[in-house]
Amino acid sequence: MIIDSALYRGGVRIPLACTKEDLRAVRSSTSEPGDFIWVGLHEPDTAELSAVAEAFELHPLAVEDAVNAHQRPKLERYGDGIFLVLKTLWYVDENDAVETGEINLFVGRDFVVSVRHGEGTELHTARLDLEQRTTVLDHGPSAVVYAICDRVVDSYEEVASALEADVDEVEESVFSPSRTQDSRRIYILKRELSEVRRAVNPLREPMKRFATGSVPVISQESAPFFRDVADHVLRVSEAVEALDSLLSTAFDAHLARISVQQNEDMRKISAWVAIAAVGTLVAGIYGMNFEYMPELRWHFGYFGALGVMLVASVVLYRVFKKSGWL
Amino acid sequence: MIIDSALYRGGVRIPLACTKEDLRAVRSSTSEPGDFIWVGLHEPDTAELSAVAEAFELHPLAVEDAVNAHQRPKLERYGDGIFLVLKTLWYVDENDAVETGEINLFVGRDFVVSVRHGEGTELHTARLDLEQRTTVLDHGPSAVVYAICDRVVDSYEEVASALEADVDEVEESVFSPSRTQDSRRIYILKRELSEVRRAVNPLREPMKRFATGSVPVISQESAPFFRDVADHVLRVSEAVEALDSLLSTAFDAHLARISVQQNEDMRKISAWVAIAAVGTLVAGIYGMNFEYMPELRWHFGYFGALGVMLVASVVLYRVFKKSGWL
Amino acid sequence: MIIDSALYRGGVRIPLACTKEDLRAVRSSTSEPGDFIWVGLHEPDTAELSAVAEAFELHPLAVEDAVNAHQRPKLERYGDGIFLVLKTLWYVDENDAVETGEINLFVGRDFVVSVRHGEGTELHTARLDLEQRTTVLDHGPSAVVYAICDRVVDSYEEVASALEADVDEVEESVFSPSRTQDSRRIYILKRELSEVRRAVNPLREPMKRFATGSVPVISQESAPFFRDVADHVLRVSEAVEALDSLLSTAFDAHLARISVQQNEDMRKISAWVAIAAVGTLVAGIYGMNFEYMPELRWHFGYFGALGVMLVASVVLYRVFKKSGWL
Amino acid sequence: MIIDSALYRGGVRIPLACTKEDLRAVRSSTSEPGDFIWVGLHEPDTAELSAVAEAFELHPLAVEDAVNAHQRPKLERYGDGIFLVLKTLWYVDENDAVETGEINLFVGRDFVVSVRHGEGTELHTARLDLEQRTTVLDHGPSAVVYAICDRVVDSYEEVASALEADVDEVEESVFSPSRTQDSRRIYILKRELSEVRRAVNPLREPMKRFATGSVPVISQESAPFFRDVADHVLRVSEAVEALDSLLSTAFDAHLARISVQQNEDMRKISAWVAIAAVGTLVAGIYGMNFEYMPELRWHFGYFGALGVMLVASVVLYRVFKKSGWL
Amino acid sequence: MIIDSALYRGGVRIPLACTKEDLRAVRSSTSEPGDFIWVGLHEPDTAELSAVAEAFELHPLAVEDAVNAHQRPKLERYGDGIFLVLKTLWYVDENDAVETGEINLFVGRDFVVSVRHGEGTELHTARLDLEQRTTVLDHGPSAVVYAICDRVVDSYEEVASALEADVDEVEESVFSPSRTQDSRRIYILKRELSEVRRAVNPLREPMKRFATGSVPVISQESAPFFRDVADHVLRVSEAVEALDSLLSTAFDAHLARISVQQNEDMRKISAWVAIAAVGTLVAGIYGMNFEYMPELRWHFGYFGALGVMLVASVVLYRVFKKSGWL
């Protein structure tokens, strides 16, 4: 579906009626130097994408990539244009999961075609924000690329901090005195981090190249902006590595905790067994059938025996309590 | 065995009768510029391969490599031709194993000789597909290299997703409430991943070089196609790394689960032992032979003792149930 | 808040009255070659920072970074000036935690604007020290950059040695004969080390570049000074890696210790259970109701039985003591 | 000891009488272009080596290295000659160990001096094989270097596959149902792999340099041969890494197995204890001395009690069997 | 303290009376080309070092580094001289520890100033050895640098082989049948290895640079000598890595051993408990008070019961022995 399309001239938006049919008219609307078009598509069908591809002379291989989502993030040059694939990430609170979508950008000297897959990061507000900043819009298509990359990378940071909060919860759970089963949670978090890593890390190189101004359609004057984005990508990437390594340590701590708990359980059990054993032993002794056992004839022998059991139990209980077994 | 051989002229296939004897005739059939020959062999015997080698003046070291399968994937230049070794991979459902085969390509200015070992990825359909795409065929021998690489790398992706499904199963099994023995399964999957890694990773470099058009017989115009292939290789390679690291975490979770289960078993056992011990202690007490034990003479003393045992057991049972030991 | 501002001419400080209003006057006070200004801000509000930015023509993106603390350490060029972000670290004894702050430096040909966030490393004493060293001050703004970097990196070394002391304590605790729960401590230390690593490691590159004199406003003659700083950064970075890896080993040793202790506990318990079991068995035997059991009629049979229990217990006790079970 | 020495002219061997005394005569026997000498030494004493060094003007530092075996594999240039150190490896079946030896090669424009230490890879058959291949011999000294490297690397592959077989055995043992103690075996294999790694990995660089023809005395035409060797070195190196990582996984699986077995043992033990406890409890109950216990007077009370014990045991046995505890 | 100072002219030592006062005279004694001075200091006080620094015009930052030991090993250029920091290592048998010291070298076109801290590697014998080798001395100051580096790196190799012996002991202990507590020993060895790594690894780069002759005061002709040193550094570095990784495996094996031992203990205990339980059950049965229990009236009933206990125990003992539980 074609979501929005406009011509930008001197930092000002000129809306264009745009259906599949009049794409050619749209394409040829850039009459003055500095003009450029931004066509935004959301999960287009093949026909729509073909029409756009034809109007803007997009490379068939890039178009094929844009149809099948599930690409690696990448930056590719085709002739004098570029093709950029970004993964979008968003965090779904209900099931603590990270979902992924995809944005494909075809950028030429005087146009940007953005193709979005999935429900994540939407580009409409990015467009509105950008349209406020006339000086940035003046950079041409690279302003659009910057606005989108910035938005996408901001969402990475949100995801990273949501995961950071999850790791904090796990940490608290691991070191809480109660028995917790954190291994599953840790596993799932590690899987989510791996997902984020696969979205973020391949983006470092393209952003760096934008930041050095060595990519054809990206203007030199927007390089500092991309340097900022590249820096955020790096920060997310480092945060993810740090979280991953923290989770590994947390997992080890969880394992140690299980061992310690088992040890404590075993000692507690053993202490009670010992207390019971002493009683049983005393009972066994006075259950012997010897003819001559003086205590048996004592009037309070029975209560004495019970008393011995009780005293022995209390003494043992105290001993175990003191030595930390109970 | 020579499977198929044909001359391609202007994107059109001209079949060639081809046995070991008339290879020289085949070789000299490329009379017009842009013509090229594709000879396909499947597990050829030494005589056949020697005949082909002689006709196409292949380098003896490369030919030797093509005879003994079990090479590393690699790209080598011999004079103005190249020699490419690809590992083919396929997933055998019966025993969850990844099998490997090999394809050797000798590529010259106007010919491709493909030598296939093992039962995997067959090339016939790749050839048919390619013959439909006249514009691609026009790229000459690099079109054939592309078609084969594309096919092989597609099969890598299939294998990767089969392994991904296996990892999902393992994950489910590890976190299922039942007792599972996943260590063997995880070990085997790790071995398969190692196999895939050894097939895929050495291919990254050659594909990148094809993609930058810096290899002699690979035409500049087919570079974008190889960029696509290189990208898929990278994707598979990253997926394999991610799976491997997930499996390590799953294994750790499996270990933690075993510990937790042992702990639970131990507590359950101990709880029952405690319940039995109380009964035994009561029985022991009333088994003592003191002359003066008032309870012994009570009419319902016996049933009282049984009652005490029962009540103590029920109370203990509840306590253990509540504190999670049972 | 503007903390301090001064003009340095020929290595001598000339104080400048400096509020938000007369920043332009400050800016234009560098009339002689070699003159430079140092304006120091501490957690400025947006208005203050804007005023400074306007007076010194700072790049808006850099200013934005300076407002939001929580940047990665980085060095960026804007036109003919540079923007440097440093993380400050300090160790809080009360809770064994590493706190982080941030210093942003805007450096031009004839000025330095320093913006400090957080309570750590304060710059006032660094300024006083620097003002003593006229020859160093002669290097111009790079002298200020050096003085600050040196101070910050010195604080890194303090933090690193505080952490080293913590690791030593953990090590002692892990190998102490008493039962210790070190996993939490180790986890927290690893998290602190990760924090330090994220502050220190990104600084290696900028310091190296200063040390090679390849950054515009950093003078060649101050390069050896930065070489010194770069070297300290490297040392801290290596110390952190070594500590991290030591902690991992300490954790493993902790795990092994838990296992060994559990084993010892289990054997100790079992030994006592065995001693009790022998007594119970003897008591059981003489509790049997056979009509013909000669010992039962012996006068000292009972005491004999008690003696047997005692002797058996003592013998077992000795055996267990000798074999290390008790 | 001087094992063999010969002059090669036009691909043909001309044997040379060679003792320590007539080395100078040997040296000066290369009268025609393309002539070269190969002197082979096996564990020479210092005098012999000095004589050779003097005759061939070998660099004293290289000679010193050749006397003391136990060098790292390396390639060094001395003037217009090279000095190559190779580790030889062979697998000793008796004790599953990898033994190491060393070959030092001094290569000049028209000579090769090979010095072999240890009993491994012998060079005599390599020499005989080479002498059959006149075209290869025509490459001059590099033919000898190739022949030796090829032989040495072939032996690496043999060692690697012997270790692969060992790893397969370990794997089988780890996953066999019987209790095995594999940790020692795994440890030793890891040590052997580390040995192999230290022999093989430093050789990758020299072989690559030979393969690119960038080493002085190695002729361009023998580069493809070294490419082959370099490829084999890489293959061994990758195989070793894969084995090492498999062993780590196998070790983890071994640990998991031990835990699982302990768990199973514990449950089996507990089940039997429970069965015994029920019998003891029943016996205890009927051992009580209450005056009024109706069952005691029943004629078949005793057998009834025995029956209850038996039935309870059988029922428990079945329950445990069913739930997998026995 | 100034230990020794001498002028070397044409490979011959000319001793110089040298106290703090006549350093300037010493400095100016190099009148002929090729002359150079070597002044050796051991833990100099600030005054001495200042005097030397002044006489030889050493850079203040380098001098500061030489006063405070505890530098990272490094190579720095100051003007046309270099400053080299080496860590010395020695192994103290008493406590199996590696001690560290430091050597600082200031090298100019015609002088070497060596400053040694700590008790390790002394330089006097290195000096005597060097003075024997006139041809090497002819290389000028680089001969001294070589002699010292060679000596220091030799001591690294001694330390490495002492640690290797320690690792062998640990290995033996881990796999010995007796119960050992190796985790502490392994931890300490890992810490020592980390110490060695920090001394050795930063030296690789400087030695490589010396070996390629790309450092100003190091003569081209001494490059092969430094290549030798660089090679030894690499060898030590690789040995340390291999030892570290072996220790990790040994630690894992130690953990596995603890688990196996616990398992064995548990089974042994359980077997004995089972044997005791059977006796107790039999005693319990005949302790029941049924009126009609035929065995109780048998004359040898008691001995029969004892016999049953004994036989059951022996049978169980054999069964457990056979199945490996005892």
Chain D touched by E311 (CB under 8 Å): no
Contact yes or no for E256 and D183 at CB 8 A: yes
Contact yes or no for A235 and C296 at CB 8 A: no
Subunits next to C (3 or more Cβ pairs <8 Å) are A, E
Which of the two residues, B2 and C211, has the higher pLDDT score? C211
* Residue whose structure tokens are 């990539």: A65
Nearest to E292 among D254, D269, D301 (CB): D301
**Segment 88-147 of chain B within 8 Å of chain D by CB:** none
DSSP D71: P
Q: Average pLDDT by consecutive 10-residue portion of chain D (326 residues)?
A: 85 78 79 87 88 89 82 87 93 86 92 87 83 84 92 93 93 87 90 93 93 86 90 93 93 90 86 86 88 84 90 92 86
Task: Give the start-to-end residue ranges of the domains of chain B.
Answer: 2-256, 257-323
State residue D272 phi and psi, 5-degree precision. -65, -40
Which of the two residues, E122 and C81, has the higher pLDDT score? C81
Which of B6-10, B23-27, C310-314, D42-46 has maximum average pLDDT?
A: C310-314
Tell me what pLDDT residue E159 has.
94
Q: Residue E225's closest CA among E158, E106, E143, E155?
A: E143
Q: Residue D211's closest CA among D12, D75, D89, D58?
A: D75
* pTM strictly above 0.90: no
Contact yes or no for B302 and D293 at CB 8 A: yes
Does pLDDT of B165 surpass 90?
yes
In the chain, the amino acid numbered E156 is Y
Rounded Cα–Cα distance for residues A206 and D78 (Å) = 45
**What is the DSSP code string of E238-291?**
HHHHHHHHHHHHHHHHHHHHHHHHHHHHHHHHHHHHHHHHHHHHHHHHHT---S
DSSP E71: P
Contact yes or no for D288 and B297 at CB 8 A: no
Q: Nearest residue on chain A to C185, judged by CA atoms?
A: A253
CA distances from C15 to B245, C7, C130 (A): 60, 6, 15
Helix (H, G, I), strand (E, B) or coil at D192: helix
Give the strand order in the sheet containing B12-15. Answer: B12-15, B2-9, B36-42, B111-117, B97-107, B81-92, B74-78
Q: What is the pLDDT of residues E296-316, one digit of tens each?
A: 888 888 888 899 999 999 999
Rounded Cα–Cα distance for residues D27 and D7 (Å) = 9
Tell me what pLDDT residue D129 has.
86
Contact yes or no for B285 and A283 at CB 8 A: yes
Give the contacts of E30 (CB within 8 A, at least 6 positions apart).
E7, E36, E37, E110, E111
Helix (H, G, I), strand (E, B) or coil at A39: strand
Question: E2-256 and E257-323 share one CATH topology?
Answer: no
Rounded Cα–Cα distance for residues C123 and C82 (Å) = 19
E131 burial level (CB within 10 Å; 0-12, 13-18, 19+) = middle
Tell me what pLDDT residue C165 has.
93
- Is the predicted ipTM greater than 0.90, yes or no? no
Q: At what angle do helices A46-56 and A60-67 cross, to 10 degrees?
A: 150
- Judging contacts by C-beta atoms under 8 Å, the chain C residues touching residue E255 are 252, 255-256, 259
- Judging contacts by C-beta atoms under 8 Å, the chain B residues touching residue D259 are 255, 258-259, 262
Nearest to D259 among B59, B255, B296 (CB): B255
Rounded Cα–Cα distance for residues B148 and B101 (Å) = 14
Q: What is the pLDDT of residues A91-142, one digit of tens each?
A: 988 877 899 999 999 999 889 999 999 876 778 888 888 888 888 888 889 9
CATH topology of domain B257-323: Methane Monooxygenase Hydroxylase; Chain G, domain 1 (1.20.58)
Tell me what pLDDT residue D321 has.
92
> Buried (b) or exposed (e) across A29-59, using 16+ Cβ within 10 A?
bbeeeebbbbbbbbbbeeebbbbbbebbebb
Which of the two residues, E175 and C179, has the higher pLDDT score? E175
Signed CA dihedral, E128, E131, E135, E140: sign only: positive
Nearest to E267 among D254, D265, D293 (CB): D265
Taking residues B240-261, what's their average pLDDT?
92
Does pLDDT of E121 surpass 80?
no
**What is the DSSP code string of B8-56?**
EETTEEEE----STTHHHHHTT--STT-EEEEEEES--HHHHHHHHHHH
- Judging contacts by C-beta atoms under 8 Å, the chain E residues touching residue C285 are 279, 283, 306, 309
Phi-psi sector, B17: left (phi>0), alpha (psi -120 to 50), beta: beta
Rounded Cα–Cα distance for residues C312 and C322 (Å) = 15
DSSP A71: P
- Beta bridge mates, A105: A84, A114
Give the contacts of A264 (CB within 8 A, at least 6 positions apart).
none
Chain C touched by A204 (CB under 8 Å): no
Rounded Cα–Cα distance for residues E289 and D289 (Å) = 7
Tell me what pLDDT residue B168 has.
93
Signed CA dihedral, C138, C140, C144, C150: sign only: negative
Rounded Cα–Cα distance for residues B275 and B296 (Å) = 23
Chain B touched by D246 (CB under 8 Å): yes
Q: What is the pLDDT of residues C225-234, one digit of tens each?
A: 999 899 999 9
Chain D touched by E273 (CB under 8 Å): yes
Taking residues B234-256, what's their average pLDDT?
93
- Torsion, CA E10, CA E13, CA E19, CA E23, rounded to 10: 0
CA distances from D231 to D151, D192, D235, E197 (A): 14, 22, 6, 31
Does pLDDT of A90 surpass 80?
yes
Chain A touched by C38 (CB under 8 Å): no
pLDDT band at C25 (very low <50, low <70, confident <90, very high): confident
- Judging contacts by C-beta atoms under 8 Å, the chain E residues touching residue D289 are 289
Rounded Cα–Cα distance for residues C93 and C159 (Å) = 11
- Beta bridge mates, E117: E102
Q: How many helices (H) and strands (E) does chain D have?
A: 10, 7
Q: What is the pLDDT of residues E12-63, one digit of tens each?
A: 888 887 777 777 777 888 888 888 999 999 988 888 888 888 889 898 888 8
**Minimal Cα–Cα distance from D262 to chain B, Å?**
8
Tell me what pLDDT residue A29 has.
81
Rounded Cα–Cα distance for residues D66 and D75 (Å) = 13
Subunits next to D (3 or more Cβ pairs <8 Å) are B, E
Question: For residues D99 and D90, is the Cβ–Cβ distance under 8 A?
Answer: yes
Rounded Cα–Cα distance for residues B34 and B135 (Å) = 13
N- to C-terminal Cα separation, chain D? 69
Chain D touched by E267 (CB under 8 Å): yes
Helix (H, G, I), strand (E, B) or coil at C274: helix
Question: For residues D181 and D258, is the Cβ–Cβ distance under 8 A?
Answer: no
Helix (H, G, I), strand (E, B) or coil at D90: strand
Chain C touched by A292 (CB under 8 Å): yes
- Torsion, CA D171, CA D173, CA D175, CA D178, rounded to 10: 180
Average pLDDT, chain B: 88
Q: What is the pLDDT of residues A21-46, one digit of tens each?
A: 777 777 888 888 888 999 999 988 88
Does pLDDT of B127 surpass 80?
yes
Tell me what pLDDT residue B119 has.
77
pLDDT band at E325 (very low <50, low <70, confident <90, very high): confident
Q: Nearest residue on chain B to A70, judged by CA atoms?
A: B235
Tell me what pLDDT residue A128 has.
86
Tell me what pLDDT residue B156 has.
94
Tell me what pLDDT residue C254 has.
92
Contact yes or no for C256 and E259 at CB 8 A: no
Q: What is the pLDDT of residues B277-309, one digit of tens each?
A: 888 888 888 888 888 888 888 888 888 889 999
Tokens, residue B263: 């702990």
Tokens, residue D10: 């036009």
Question: For residues D308 and D280, is the Cβ–Cβ distance under 8 A?
Answer: no
pLDDT band at C102 (very low <50, low <70, confident <90, very high): very high
Contact yes or no for D284 and E284 at CB 8 A: yes
Rounded Cα–Cα distance for residues E146 and E118 (Å) = 20
Rounded Cα–Cα distance for residues E198 and D318 (Å) = 63
Does pLDDT of B19 surpass 80?
no
Q: Which CATH number fits domain C2-256: 3.40.50.2020, 3.40.50.2000, 3.40.50.1980, 3.30.460.20?
A: 3.30.460.20
Tell me what pLDDT residue A243 has.
95
**Minimal Cα–Cα distance from B208 to chain D, Å?**
19
DSSP B73: P
Tell me what pLDDT residue E21 has.
72
CA distances from D190 to B209, D196, D269, E245, E313 (A): 36, 10, 36, 9, 45
Taking residues C150-164, what's their average pLDDT?
93
Rounded Cα–Cα distance for residues E142 and E108 (Å) = 10
Residue B173's CB is within 10 A of a number of other CB atoms, namely: 16
Taking residues B131-143, what's their average pLDDT?
86
CA angle E245, E249, E251 (to 5 degrees): 115
Average pLDDT, chain E: 88
Q: Residue D262's closest CA among E318, A266, A178, C325?
A: A266
Longest dimension (CA), chain B: 124
Q: What is the pLDDT of residues C110-153, one digit of tens each?
A: 899 999 998 767 788 888 888 888 888 888 899 999 999 999 99
Q: Nearest residue on chain B to D281, judged by CA atoms?
A: B280
D89 burial level (CB within 10 Å; 0-12, 13-18, 19+) = buried
Tally D–E CB contacts below 8 A.
Answer: 124
- Judging contacts by C-beta atoms under 8 Å, the chain C residues touching residue A267 are 265, 269
**Minimal Cα–Cα distance from E258 to chain C, Å?**
7
Nearest to C287 among E78, E197, E287 (CB): E287
- Judging contacts by C-beta atoms under 8 Å, the chain D residues touching residue B184 are 175, 253
- Judging contacts by C-beta atoms under 8 Å, the chain D residues touching residue B183 are 252-253, 256-257, 260
Rounded Cα–Cα distance for residues E141 and C154 (Å) = 34
- Judging contacts by C-beta atoms under 8 Å, the chain B residues touching residue D257 are 183
Question: For residues D106 and D83, is the Cβ–Cβ distance under 8 A?
Answer: yes
Does pLDDT of B45 surpass 90?
no
- Judging contacts by C-beta atoms under 8 Å, the chain D residues touching residue B251 are 249, 252-253, 256
Q: Nearest residue on chain D to B255, judged by CA atoms?
A: D256
Which of the two residues, B96 and B8, has the higher pLDDT score? B8
Tell me what pLDDT residue C114 has.
92
> Buried (b) or exposed (e) across B60-72, using 16+ Cβ within 10 A?
ebbbebbeebebb
Chain A contact probe: residue of B139, B289, B316 with most A CBs at under 10 A: B289
Q: Residue D291's closest CA among A316, B302, B240, A293?
A: B302
- Beta bridge mates, D113: D39, D106
Residue D144's CB is within 10 A of a number of other CB atoms, namely: 27
Tell me what pLDDT residue A295 has.
84
